[in-house]
Amino acid sequence: METTVSKSEAPRRGLVERLKSIGPGMVIVASFIGPGTVTTATRAGASFGYALLWAVVFSILATIILQEMSARLGIITQKGLGEAIAEQFSNPIIKYGTMTLVIVAITVGSTAYITGDLMGGSTGLSILTGLPQKVIGPVLGIIILFLALKGSYKIVEKFMIGLVLVMGITFITTMIVVRPNIGEVFQGAFLPSIPLGSIITVIALIGTTVVPYNLFLHAATVNERWKSPDDLKESRRDSMISILIGGLITAAILITSATVMKGMTVESVGDLSIQLEPVLGSWSSAFIGIGFFAAGLSSALAGPLGAAYTISGLLGWKNGMKDKRFKAVFAGITVFGIFSTLTGFEVVSVIIFAQAINGILLPFIAFLLLVIVNNKKRLGGYANNLTQNIIGGVVVIICAGLGIYSLVDAIGAFLG
């Protein structure tokens, strides 16, 4: 007997299969939506209303463009960006100089950020439970350590997808409940403006989304799922859907704060929960606490993961998360974060230092990526075409401007 599939059933199956393809892109989203992004978007909305939504839109487009190149490189070559950098240059001085700079910068940046991520995650859980941050932070670090050292990549991926879904449900639901002005939302998203005093906030919104180690992380993690050029379409779908969801989450945070907090000074995300009380009542603290906890935990997991994949690729370690050296790098960075939360290390100074490292690294890595995806010996017919180069070049130039400005700002903060 023949089995017929109705027209209504076929699309459902197609949708299920498409949703199953979501994975590496969500890991990138889990990485860039951390406590820094939540806090920056909250302050942007409170200080400038909906006016800076366009910066979120731009940052998401830039992320999609750069991450597509990274994922394409990983699928076509079945190697990570670190391996590609190591093989790109024949001159030993350029080769090893570049490798050393990338290893040092990524490692220092990741160890700096994991401290803030753990403290951010513990802030969210502290709001929910009332327990002190210094108790919660190390516990979260130990959970992250256990997941990476005992679990496979698939387990880590599913865990991070779960955290993104928690953030999405929490922040998007909150945005809907506060009933923003839709007309002003669209105006802020598609009519760029730079209100007086907003330039640093614009740079921060973009800089918290376009993250250097995510380019290494994406090129490496697509290898865990896809092996053929035929999979490029599925990978692009994964990246597009995932990063758009990440952008919607960031936008939801900004829109919510713009609706309920415009004109207020934001000292912490806890301030947002106070302003939501008239709308959400006793649920306000729970919503913000859950969202901030998920953001901190997901980003804290992605930081050392990105560093480990970067170093593994540059040094030619082949077994990914199964390699003891990979686990050692991941563990070392995570343990640093745990001890930093225990000792009460000055988080602000560390984050400023990490910002300076990011300022140097972001345009450098974006430029290296653009050079590598133009290598036809490596990518053949899948190398960048003229249109991709023009778009990618514009993004790299903007990243360079962003990096220089953020570096100068960070140096000024240190000296001041």
User: In terms of Cα–Cα distance, which of 62, 68, 60 is closest to 373?
Assistant: 68
Quick: pLDDT tens for 200-238: 788 878 878 888 888 998 998 888 788 888 889 999 999
Q: How many CA atoms lie within 13 A of 140 on its CB side?
A: 33
| Statement: residue 394 has pLDDT above 60 | yes
Summary mean pLDDT of the chain: 82
| Statement: residue 128 has pLDDT above 70 | yes
Q: Are 39 and 272 in contact (CB under 8 A)?
A: no
- Tell the residue number behind the tokens 């403006």, with chain if given: 193
Q: For residue 5, with 0-12 CB atoms within 10 Å meaning exposed, 13-18 middle and 19 or more buried, which class applies? A: exposed
Mean pLDDT, residues 189-194 taken together: 90
What pLDDT sits at residue 185?
95
- Model's pTM, two decimal places? 0.85
Quick: pLDDT tens for 247-256: 999 999 999 8
Q: Please, where are the H alpha helices in 266-382?
A: 270-280, 283-315, 324-343, 347-372, 376-379
Phi, psi (rounded to 5 degrees) for 342: -75, -40
Range 323-332 burial, b when 16+ CB lie within 10 A, else e: eeebbebbbe
Both tokens of 409, joined, read 């700002």
The pLDDT-based confidence of 414 (bands split at 50, 70, 90) is low
DSSP-assigned letters across all residues of 223-277: GGT--SGGGHHHHHHHHHHHHHHHHHHHHHHHHHHHHHHTTPPPSSTHHHHHHHH
Using CA atoms, how far apart are residues 302 and 34, in angstroms rounded to an integer?
10
- Between residues 351 and 23, which one has the greater pLDDT? 23
Q: Are 38 and 123 in contact (CB under 8 A)?
A: no
| Statement: residue 9 has pLDDT above 50 | no
DSSP-assigned letters across all residues of 377-397: HHHGGGS--HHHHHHHHHHHH
